[in-house]
Amino acid sequence: MTSTDRTHDPARRSWVESANAPECDFPIQNLPWCVFRSEDGSSRIGVGIGDQILDLQAVILGEDDPVDTSALGGVVTCALTAPTLNQFMGLGREAWRATRHFVADLLDASSQCRDDLLVPMADAQLLMPATVGDYTDFYASRYHATNVGRMFRPDGEPLMPNYLHLPVGYHGRASSVVVSGTDIRRPHGQLKPDDGDPVFGPIKLLDYELEFGAFIGEANQLGDRVPIDDAMHRIFGLVILNDWSARDVQKWEYQPLGPFNAKNFASTISPWVVTIDALAPFRRPGPERLPEDPPLLPYLQPSGDDVLDVTCEVSLASASMREAGTDPVTLTRGSLADLCWSFAQMLSHHTSTGCPMRPGDLIGSGTVSGPEKDSRGCLLELTWRGSEPVDLPDGTQRRFLLDGDELTISAWCESEGARRIGLGSCSGVVRPAE
């Protein structure tokens, strides 16, 4: 297990009482980052604690009863009053860790209660936590890649020859990365019926993809590589990611250059960034390789506890289910630990050519799928291209998503000797094409 410190002490409590509830996503051991809209309309950086948000601008600039922030230094306090997390992300690991300790001590039960620094989450509009300059999505689940390969190449090898040698990825579209709660309009696309010529119209095979995204913090310069033993130190934190996919567009366009319009219309992320430091109790060695797998080149050899043990769950509620007050149906339950490539390997490979990464760049894991049917991370797999539809309590079935469907992904971490923490949730409602 990666080393922990006093901020991870499972016995630690906060003066924010809601943070001490056993099932709370945001206890004092977590302290996830966000950006929210304040009453004056400005965008402010915050930290989640229980059902509240600690307003960092109020902490730093408050005049009536100022908090002593001298231990942070002017560079850090300036970054924390910015409208996005990019500047703070770029300061690097030591600044992140020092700020985590400062915030934890401020919120500790032994400290003075400062309700004036808090904003109720229920009253806050959560925004994109960072400006995403570049977005790269990977294909890091062997189970997902194997299932898809068996569907589309039933008579051949399910995995492509390169798959076990390097983390496969493609460059996504940063401009269509949106925050949880944003409606998803069904896109149009060029579709190829099996028995006819291409047509243009609303897509029919809309899918979700259960993923996680890693925000890059400290940059590397053009021409510099990030070695694998430094890669996790460059990652600021994780968000939940739903990479909405148009499967009918994808199957027509993907050769020879891979995903394009099938993936560029929307990718939703959760508003809370759970830091790599907060995830320290939930890191494990690996990823593991099978005995028959080819040896990895040295630059991709795992050097530490790079596997993140995060449990995730996908649920769906149709429009009629929500109107009737029916609970959402769980579609998938999986684990980020099932990936065969880690975020450290993804970042090391991404920069192996000297590609520069910048604070706020986002890398996606690709669909998180496991060995069992109920751990398959998208409807393409779960329904096996629509041949095994999912039954909903309103009497309808789902092969792919329909208008009005609300898709929600939630995630959390649990480990013996550690306080449970959560990553919140990531949701979106499918709206009709226009």
CA-CA-CA-CA torsion sign (54, 57, 60, 61): negative
Distance CA(301)–CA(297), nearest Å, equals 7
* pLDDT for the residue numbered 138: 98
Residues 114, 146, single domain; the answer is no
Domain that holds residue 61: 6-126
Residue 82 shares a structural domain with residue 164: no
Domain containing residue 121: CATH number: 2.30.30.230
State whether 106 and 246 are in the same domain: no
DSSP state of 395: S
Query: Do 76 and 186 sit in the same domain of this protein?
Result: no
Q: How many residues does the chain have?
A: 434
> Are 112 and 154 part of one and the same domain?
no
3 state DSSP class of 207: strand
Rg (Cα) of the chain, in Å, rounded?
22
Domain boundary pick from 108, 126, 144? 126
CA distances from 113 to 76, 82, 154 (A): 24, 25, 62
Amino acid at residue number 413: C
Q: Which among 100, 126, 152 is the end of a domain?
A: 126
pLDDT on residue 260:
95
pTM for the structure as a whole: 0.97
Q: Within a domain: residue 1?
A: no
When divided into structural domains, the chain yields a total of: 2
Shared-domain flag, residues 225 and 349: yes
Asked if 236 and 217 count as a contact pair (C-beta separation under 8 A), the reply is: yes
**Same-domain pairing of 110 and 175:** no
CB 285, CB 260: distance < 8 Å:
no
Domain check: are 110 and 166 in the same one?
no
Structure tokens given for 116: 């004036």
Beta bridge partners of 43: 37
Question: For residue 113, what pLDDT is reported?
Answer: 95
What CATH code is carried by the domain that includes residue 422? 3.90.850.10
* Other Cβ atoms closer than 10 A to 340: 20
- DSSP characters over 284-341: ESB----TTSPPPPGGGS--SB-EE--EEEEEEE-HHHHHHTPPPEEEEEEEGGG-SS
Under a CB-based contact definition with an 8 Å cutoff, are residues 410 and 313 in contact? Answer: yes
108 and 163: one domain? no
User: Which residues are known to be catalytic?
Assistant: 144
pLDDT for 192 equals 95
The SS3 assignment for 368 reads coil
Would you give per-residue pLDDT tens digits along the chain (434 residues)?
578 999 999 999 999 999 999 999 999 999 999 999 998 899 999 999 999 999 999 999 987 889 999 999 999 999 999 999 999 999 999 999 999 999 999 999 999 999 999 999 999 999 999 999 999 999 999 999 999 999 989 888 999 999 999 999 999 999 999 999 999 999 999 999 989 999 999 999 999 999 999 999 999 999 999 999 999 999 999 999 999 999 999 999 988 988 999 999 999 999 999 999 999 999 999 999 999 999 999 999 998 999 999 999 999 999 999 999 999 999 999 999 999 999 999 999 999 999 999 999 999 999 999 999 999 999 999 999 999 999 999 999 999 999 999 999 999 999 999 999 999 999 999 999 99
Per-residue pLDDT of 173-231, as tens digits, reads 999 999 999 999 999 999 999 899 999 999 999 999 999 999 999 999 999 999 999 99
- Backbone torsions φ then ψ of 82, nearest 5 degrees: -75, 165
